[in-house]
Each structure stands twice: as structure tokens, then as C-alpha cells.
Amino acid sequence: MLKYFFIRLLSAIPVLFLVILITFILVRLAPGGPFDQERAAPPAVLANLNKQYHLDDPVVVQFKDYLVNLLRGDFGPSFKYPTRTVTEIILTGLPPTLELGLYALLFAMFVGISTGVMAGLKPNSAQDYIPMTIAMIGICLPSFVLGPLLILGFGIGLEWFPVSGWGDSPGDKVLPAITLGAAYAAYIARLTRGGMLDVMSQDYIRTARAKGLSPARIVGLHALRGALAPVVAFAGPAAAGLLSGSFVVETIYQIPGLGRFYLQAAFNRDYTMILGTTIFFATLIILFNFISDVIQAWINPKLRQSLSK
């Protein structure tokens, strides 16, 4: 187990390096620059700005200097907000993004697991067809379509929830969390249903029934642990996707999160901000995938035995 985890941690180093290299090259190849404005600045001013931020150095030298500063924990200053560093901006936008991702993940897990269990217990019935049809609609409906629909229906029409902002009121979190977590809830529901269908046909479930255990005890103590194995494997990428995929939702609901800063950085050609947030999101994705592997190995005895060999 320790050897497996150590190898997984080491494999993250080349992955992060490739992410940094590809992002660094792509932002340089994109048309425009960080100091382009609607009204062009004088050439002398642009030359001084490029010299101040070392953008007049060769690209190889710029990449080497960025890696050296990155190893020191320095993401550099923001080109759009020169008085603030990229680290300060990330720390400012991170709490709303983490909070939104947490609520969306809780919504997706609760709705997806409960719906999948109900559908898996009675396959090929109305209890199966109806929630799985809704789950398929949830998979096909992107967040930039679902968000405005929820705003029109529950925000403007029924006036149940606010349509923008991120304050202390619990109502501010409902529509964004549903918008972000709906697609993942649909995936989790289908994975849970498949896991339940596989587990409920196993011999140990039939043995538990023969012993006279109640259906709730069979599902809760015996079936659910095995049925959730694919959900746990999906939970790591899902958690990372919820955090890194909140750009559209934060823009729709005017949430001052990290995704909104990242989107603005792309429009402003803010090189350091794009690189810093990309590295941060990539690190989160690797971390959540690692945690998912650890939990999956913990709940799956066969996987633990294969890793110990």
C-alpha cells in the first residue's frame, strides 16, 4: 500500500510539469498581450512594462525563471492587478469556490446515491425508469442552460431564492449548488444503480436474506458498501471537477469565486494569473484523485490484497 501511494505521489510531479509547460506555451501563443487595451499605449510605455515584468527575455529564460519562483512558492504578481500577487487573489476567491463545490458535492452525493439505490432495488419498474430518465436529462443538460432555467423558474417566477450574489443567507447557495451538482448527481445515480444491480445478485446477499435479515439491514450493512465502490472511484474526479468547473456557475450567479477570477484572467491575458490558477486547480485534481484511490483501497479488500503483493 505504501509503495503504491508513494508511486502515485511521485507520478504527480511530471504531470504538474506538463501542465505548467503546456499552459505557459498556450498563453504565449494566444493573440494579444497582458497590456493590450482598447486605446493602444505608446511603444515606449509598452517597452518599459515588458522590461519590468521580464517579458522581453527569451521564452526559455522566462519559463526557467517562473519555475524557480514557483519552487519558492511565488506565483508572481498579477498583470491586471499589479498591486496584488496571484497568491493573494487565489486566497481571496478560494473560500466561495470551496464552499460552492462542497454544497454541490453534498447535493450530488445525497441525490445520486439515494436515487440510485431506489432504482437498483426494483429494476425495470417505474421506480427505476422514472429517476433514471431524469438522470439522463441531467447528464444532457449543461450548467449554462440549467442555471438560467432555475433562475427563471425559482428565482424570478416563484421568487423562492435569490438569483445572484453569495452572502450569509442559506438561500444564496441553493440554486448555484443545484446548478453545479445536477450533472454529477445524475452520473452518481447511474453508477449507484449499476453497483446495486451487481451486488444484489451476489451469494452473500442471498445468504443474508436466508438468515432473515431485514431489507434495510441488508442494503445498509452489506449491499451498499460494495455498490458504492464505483461511486468512490468517481468521487475524486467529481470533487475536482466541481471545484474546477465552477466558472460558468460563478459567472451566472455573480459569485466572487476563483473560477470567475480565472475567466477574467483569460480575457485579460493575465499570464501569471492563468498559470497560477491552472497549477492550483491541477494540484487539487491530483489531490482528490489520490484521496479517492486511498478510500477505494480501504473499502475494497480485493484491491488491498492486489496492492500488497
Q: 262-302, pLDDT tens digit by residue?
A: 877 877 778 888 888 888 888 887 787 777 777 666 666 56
238: part of which helix (H) or strand (E)? Answer: helix 229-244
pLDDT of residue 181: 85
List the grid coordinates of 306. 492486489
The CATH number assigned to the domain holding 161 equals: 1.10.3720.10
How far is it, in rounded angstroms, from Cα 150 to Cα 182? 12
pLDDT of residue 49: 67
Domain total for the chain?
Answer: 1
The answer to whether residues 116 and 193 touch, using CB atoms and an 8 Å cutoff, is yes
The answer to whether residues 291 and 299 touch, using CB atoms and an 8 Å cutoff, is no
Q: Return left, alpha or beta for 251; rule: phi > 0 is left, psi -120 to 50 is alpha, else beta.
A: alpha
Residue 58 lies in a domain: no
How far is it, in rounded angstroms, from Cα 252 to Cα 147? 7
The pTM for the full model equals: 0.73
Residue 276 lies in a domain: no
How far is it, in rounded angstroms, from Cα 3 to Cα 61? 37
Residue 229 lies in a domain: yes
Residue 55 lies in a domain: no
How far is it, in rounded angstroms, from Cα 28 to Cα 269? 9
User: Whose CA is closest to 16, among 242, 290, 247, 243?
Assistant: 290
Q: What is the residue type of 187?
A: Y
Q: Return left, alpha or beta for 54; rule: phi > 0 is left, psi -120 to 50 is alpha, else beta.
A: left
pLDDT of residue 123: 76
Residue 112 lies in a domain: yes
**124: containing domain:** 89-254+284-308
Tell me how far apart the terminal alpha carbons of the chain are, to the nearest angstrom: 9
Residue 219 lies in a domain: yes
pLDDT of residue 19: 86
User: Whose CA is closest to 79, among 213, 243, 275, 245?
Assistant: 275
pLDDT of residue 114: 84
pLDDT, tens only, 48-90: 766 776 777 788 888 888 888 888 888 888 877 777 888 888 8
pLDDT of residue 298: 66
Residue 148 lies in a domain: yes
pLDDT of residue 221: 67
Q: What is the residue type of 177?
A: A
How far is it, in rounded angstroms, from Cα 189 to Cα 13? 34
Using DSSP, state whether 256 is helix, strand or coil.
Answer: coil
In the predicted model, residues of the chain with pLDDT beneath 70 are 1-5, 32-43, 45-46, 49-50, 53, 203-206, 213, 215, 220-223, 226, 244-245, 295-309
* Number of C-beta neighbours around residue 171 at 10 A: 12
Residue 124 lies in a domain: yes
